Amino acid sequence: MSGGGHGAEAAVAEVLERGRTDPAAAHVFTRTYAADALAAARAADVAAPGPERPLAGLPVTIKDLFDVAGETTLSGTSVRRGLPAAEADAVVVARLRRSGAAITGRTNMVEYAFGGVGLNPHLGTPRNPADPDVARVPGGSSSGAAVSVGLGLAVAAVGSDTAGSVRIPAALCGLVGFKPTQRRVPLTGAVELSRSLDSIGPIAHSVADCLTLDAVLADDPLDVAARPLSGMRLAAATTLVLDDLEPAVATAYERALRILADAGASVEEVPLPQLGRIAELNQPAGLSPIECYAAHGELVRSRHDEVDPRVWQRMAPGHGISAADYLAIQDRRARWIAETERALPSTPCCARRCRSWRRRSPSWRPPTRPTSPRTGCSCATPSSSAGSTAAPSRCPATRPESCRSASWSRDPAAPMPASPRWPWRPSWRSPRAERVRVRR
């Protein structure tokens, strides 16, 4: 992914038109910035490329919880309509503009970023682009962010991640999501879910693209050097994180371990009993409900009938928690961090059919990895790899009839091309499903 050069304005105009007319793009955006995006692309066409503007002319989307000067930030909910407009851009939005990015729009999300499936009953739920034949959930809470990239409407998207809100939709939509260490990217100008756990990260087509966008968001490029795998010792956690893996995900995960081993790494499966204590750490409510209710409860309490009942049910337990209980959770978390090194795979399932989630009760929790008590970095890759096979499922209502994997029209590990050759469109096909054995 590199900005600059000629053809940016034409490319941005094309994606804006597709975003407006393509039925697959329904519910992706809550607001678009056509004039500003075209102006940024036009400036990139006439300016000399340089390292100080790495995203010059490239279309990028922002999640609907980042402040834009002069606008009320809705965070995916109508409850915030009428609140005062932001006086300044969020720090990450200002940095995107300075990098030359063409910000094409705000993307849809779960209300208050409090959900991992991607549903929004008020604004609509964007459809997962990984399967053109079956309507599947996109993952959340940065649902529109991932779909905008998956549809080729942006080279990358900026989302927020508290307990997987960048990594889950990235994995389910066949993309890469990166949650950086919390302190790396300023949260100023972002509507909070949990001030202890929130972080801001990119969604893109490759790790290289995520690093490019992360360098802009943090205003500090990571010094990433290639390291030989030969002789490297890697631990593959087995406690909790591999429970209930679907066959396609298990196949992709084991294939990744084999590739590492074939390259010379020593991969050892190890139990991490600390992972089994996460629920205990979060008693009596967990940091996210407590901090979300503290930030938004006064506004939402009298209007909770206007909020998705699933979101309200997650937020409500934060009411009435004492300061002593809150501090006890923070103390337990600090001790847990001090004694734990954790490694997680991607999501344990492929994207569900949308209709199966409509049957779920508001209290049903999505099958995602457990909430991370840490603020360190984490990365998600596609749940099922290109060319892998997926087993059909016979479990009624709650599972898809088949989990389809992606076949890309380009190397998904390669960086995005410069804007004159962009946008490219991924080509999806469904491989023949066959039974695979899941190693327990």
Catalytic residue positions, numbered: 63, 141, 165
90: left (phi over 0), alpha (psi -120 to 50) or beta: beta
Helix 287-301 to helix 323-339 angle, to the nearest 10 degrees? 150
Q: At 204, is the secondary structure helix, strand, or coil?
A: strand
Alpha-carbon distance of 235 to 226, in angstroms, equals 19
Helix 207-218 to helix 91-98 angle, to the nearest 10 degrees? 110
Q: Please, what's the b/e burial string for 126-157 (b: 16 or more CB within 10 A of its CB; e: otherwise)?
A: bbbbbbeebebbbbbbbbbbbbbbbbbbbbbb
Q: At 379, is the secondary structure helix, strand, or coil?
A: strand
Are β-strands 102-107 and 59-63 bridged in parallel, bridged antiparallel, or unpaired?
parallel
**Range list of β-strands (E), 91-242:** 102-107, 156-161, 176-179, 199-204, 233-237
Closest CA to 209 of 130, 154, 144: 154
Tell me how crowded residue 17 is: count the other CB atoms within 10 A of its CB: 11
Order of all β-strands in the sheet with 29-32: 29-32, 102-107, 59-63, 156-161, 199-204, 176-179, 378-380
Q: 45: which 2 tokens?
A: 């066409």
* 201: phi then psi, degrees, rounded to nearest 5: -145, 170
Helix-, strand-, coil-residue percentages of the chain, each rounded to 5: 35, 10, 55
Closest CA to 396 of 433, 355, 437: 355
Alpha-carbon distance of 55 to 340, in angstroms, equals 37
Alpha-carbon distance of 107 to 147, in angstroms, equals 9
Looking at residue 237, the DSSP 8-state letter turns out to be E
* 403: phi then psi, degrees, rounded to nearest 5: -105, 110
